[in-house]
Structure 1
Amino acid sequence: MSSSRRSSSSEYVQHRLYTINRSGSGEAFYILLTPDHNDVKTYQVKTEQWRATKDISNFGVAVVNNFLYIIGGFNVATARHIKRVVRFDPDDGIWKDVKPLRIARSKFSTAVLDGKILVLGGEESNGKVLSSCELYDPEDNEWSDAPPLVSPRANHACVVHHNEIYCAGGYYGSKSHRNIWTYEGKRWEDLGRPYPHQLPEAMDRFAMTTVGRHIYFVGGVVCTMDKEERKQKFVTDRRIVSYTTSVSAMSRTELMEPEEDEDTDDEKPVLVSDFISPWNLALPNMSFGRHSHGIAAIGSRIFVMGGSLLETGQQVRVVEVFDTEKGEWEEDFRFRKGDVSNVTCAILEVPYKQEENRLNERLRWILW
């Protein structure tokens, strides 16, 4: 199967930022972006119903060459994990089954690197948390085994940054974790050894994105230990923190006393290096804590869509936007209807022709 892109018959396309429900409602919401994907063109939220995601929860989403892939997940109607993979072609509006996963799984993360889709960890039908990974080649329509994660993980997050995949946090062994792992195509490396290359807190169900040199971690569920009750406590997080992958030491000059065998009493200048932490933990909090939310970097701004509060189960309808240049949050717009309690985001370019054909089809039936 070739995934090479056909040129659209129309020179006009809509650049859509989708917020895709992952709870089984089959809903997908979108707003329009500018052609360069650096700004929002219109905030009018439109809703579609996707049969491919109806009754499926915690599936994976990937976009390769403007094809959208819905991967695996949990069928809430049959209470079974599934292997199914469905591809959507925006050019003709057709959904098509492609080669299924080797292992039925949900609550995994996905990454696209060099035109291939990597599926990381997750949970299988017997409740076991997985470390196994699978790699999909759209050109060959084949899945193959990929190097396993350092440890099993579910409800973790990942992002591609400078041609490397960063995988962080997640749930395993009745607790959340602080790990950050990197993948360069051969194996996963643990960044936890050279302190402080770990998450500030053990967390899962958060979101990751990258802007410039920074990786941003937003929201999620933080796992802490209640020392008085001697049990774990899970709290919905409002924080955003950033991690810089290229950090160097800062040099400064200090005066040092001469050694005993040196024939001088004068202090001499010595260059000393201070380690700079890669973390920025001082960024302002969101107005709303949330987990299982979608995230999208649009230009220098980070859009945080939907999600839920663990403490109340209430979904968060307000979309908040973080300006990475100003270091400020603002409340942007609100989802007025639909289920946004568990969502993910994707950008697709959709020809106008698709909507025009639907309208013409409706008119034809009305006139007939």
Structure 2
Amino acid sequence: MMKNEAEDTKEEDILYLFDKSGSGDVHYMTLNNDIDQIAYKPLNTVRWEQTSNVVNFEIAVVNNVLYIIGGYRKNAAICTGRLLCYNPKDGTWRKRTPMPTPRMRFSACVKDNVIYVVGGEKTGGCPTDCFEIYNTQTDVWKAGSRLPSPRVWISCTLLSEKSLFAAGGTLKGKGRNNFWIYECSQWQELDNHCPQTLPKCLDRMVMASVDDTIYFIGGVTTEKDRGKKVCMYTNPRVFAFKPHVSLGSYGSPDLICPWDLDLPSPQYPRCNATHLKLGCKIYLFGGSDFETETAVTQVESFDTQTKRWAKEFQIDKSDHLSLVLSL
């Protein structure tokens, strides 16, 4: 049992940054009582044996308990379905029922007491269309409906704590522009009569919802150059999607369009970033430039009301990070 970092900061919220490269390092910082914004405080670092030599796992938080899901065991060269939970209040670990489909490079969302696991990659590099649902109260997994197509590096988000969306990802090494919604226990196109797709083929992007809008930030885009050669590069742009639009949405009096394609770009484009939503702001942590593989150390925030980016602070720990807030 490791020491609980929260013992001495019971009145403060703790931000955890997990290194997903297999080092086992976990960085954490305390936040101000007003968690609508983040003020920089030095990062503390501990090493957790439970995440050592495991890469591309996911983290979910339910009722302030951290769940570490799946990933790839570097030593054994296989994907794992392992599920561990960690309670920051008393520093205890518990093994839970493993995920039925061992995988890595998937996405996960939380609604109430349920964790939704979407897509990913199985041992041997095989993409999967698996969608599995875990009830944290009963410790039971169940299989959901299959995705319309297998996806690796897919992203997902909950809109208004109700609707589950999944988008992008890769198949056969190329980014995709799919945009799906989970309704009536089935994955389907967003509009069967006129299916919505992403403005670009994207994977490894941040997909975050604020109020009634979904934001797509950064990631890797796949395009063909003039010679029809497939090129992949860091997406510098930000897109926003509002499922329910009305006349005049996004400042256009004549056009009903759910997409806003004119948002400002961050100063530091990145893929594989992690994010945190606080109030109306989306904070970006870590990630890297796809072309140069240079880690991004600058933390930036996007104010969804003013539509402006701001530089916050720098962190030494970046690149392969997963971030969670423990209250």
Q: Normalising to structure 2: TM-score of the pair?
A: 0.91
1:296 — aligned with what? 276
Superposed CA deviations along residues 69-128 of structure 1, whole A, max 9, x for unmatched, are 000000112211111111001111112211101111000111112311111111101221
For residues 32 and 41 of structure 1, do their structure 2 counterparts lie closer, same or farther at Cα, with a shift above 3 Å needed? farther
Shift of 1:197: 2.3
Superimposed CA distance per residue, residues 263-313 of structure 1 (whole angstroms, 9 cap, x where no aligned partner): xxxxxxxxxx95421111111111122111101111111110000111111
Deviations 1:321-359 (A, max 9, x none): 1122221112111112x4x2122221102xxxxxxxxxx
Q: Contact 2:101–2:130 at 8 Å: present in 1 too?
A: no
Q: Which whole-Å CA distance do the structure 1 matches of 2:299 and 2:75 have between them?
A: 30
1:327 aligns with 2:325: no
- Residue aligning to 1:280: 260
Q: Give the counterpart of 1:346 among 310, 320, 324.
A: 324
Tell me which residue corresponds to 1:107.
Answer: 105
Partner of 2:239: 241
Distance in structure 2 (CA, Å) of the matches to 1:216 and 1:210: 6
Q: Percent identity?
A: 33
Q: Is the 8 A contact 2:118 2:131 kept in 1?
A: yes
Partner of 1:212: 211
8 Å contact 2:189–2:195 — kept in the other structure? no
Taking the aligned partners of 1:172 and 1:48, their CA distance within structure 2 comes to 36
Separation in 1, partners of 2:8, 2:27: 23
Matched-pair contact (CA < 8 Å) for 1:159–1:167 = yes
1:53 is aligned to 51
Structure with max Cα Rg: 1
**2-structure distance, mates of 1:274, 1:118:** 38
Give 5+ residue unaligned stretches, structure 2: 1-5
Alignment of 1:79-98 (within 5 A): 79-98=77-96
Q: Please tell me whether the aligned partners of residues 86 and 95 of structure 1 are also in contact (alpha carbons under 8 angstroms).
A: yes
2:29 & 2:8 partners in 1: Cα distance? 20
Name 2:298's counterpart in structure 1: 318
Alpha-carbon distance, 1:11 to partner: 9.7
Q: Deviations over 1:2-28 (max 9, x none)?
A: xxxxxx999933212222211112122
Q: Check the 8 A contact 1:218/1:241 in 2, yes or no.
A: yes
Letter of the aligned partner of 2:319 in structure 1? S
- TM-aligned CA distance change 1:10 to 1:27, over 3 Å: closer
3-state SS of paired residue (2:89): coil
Secondary structure in 1 matching 2:42:
strand
Deviation at residue 134 of structure 1 after TM alignment: 1.1
CA contact (8 A) 1:192 1:198 kept: no
Distance 1:13 1:27 in 2: 24
Partner of 2:223: 224
How many residues align? The count is: 318
Letter paired with 1:286: P
Pairwise CA distance, 1:53: 1.3
AA aligned to 1:154 is V
Q: Which residue of 2 aligns with 1:366?
A: none
1:169 paired to 2:168: yes
What is the rounded CA distance, in whole Å, between the counterparts of 1:296 and 1:317 in structure 2? 16
**For 2:29, which of 28, 31, 56 is the aligned residue?**
31
Summarize the alignment of residues 65-84 of structure 1 with structure 2, pairs less than 5 Å apart: 65-84=63-82
Q: CA offsets, 1:204-231, max 9 Å, x none?
A: 0001111122111111000001231x22
TM-score by length of 1: 0.81
1:250 offset after TM fit, Å?
4.9
Instruction: Answer 1 or 2: higher relative contact order, Cα 8 Å, separation at least 6.
Output: 1
Equivalent residues of 1:206, 1:220 under 8 A apart? yes
| C-alpha RMSD over aligned residues | 2.1
Distance 1:129 1:11 in 2: 42
Inter-CA distance 185–33: structure 2 relative to 1 (3 Å threshold): farther
Aligned counterparts of 1:305 and 1:54: Cα–Cα separation in 2? 21
For residues 236 and 27 of structure 2, the distance between their equivalents in structure 1, rounded to whole angstroms, comes to 24
Q: Deviations over 1:130-172 (max 9, x none)?
A: 0011111111111111111111111011111120111010001
SS of match in other structure, 2:131? strand
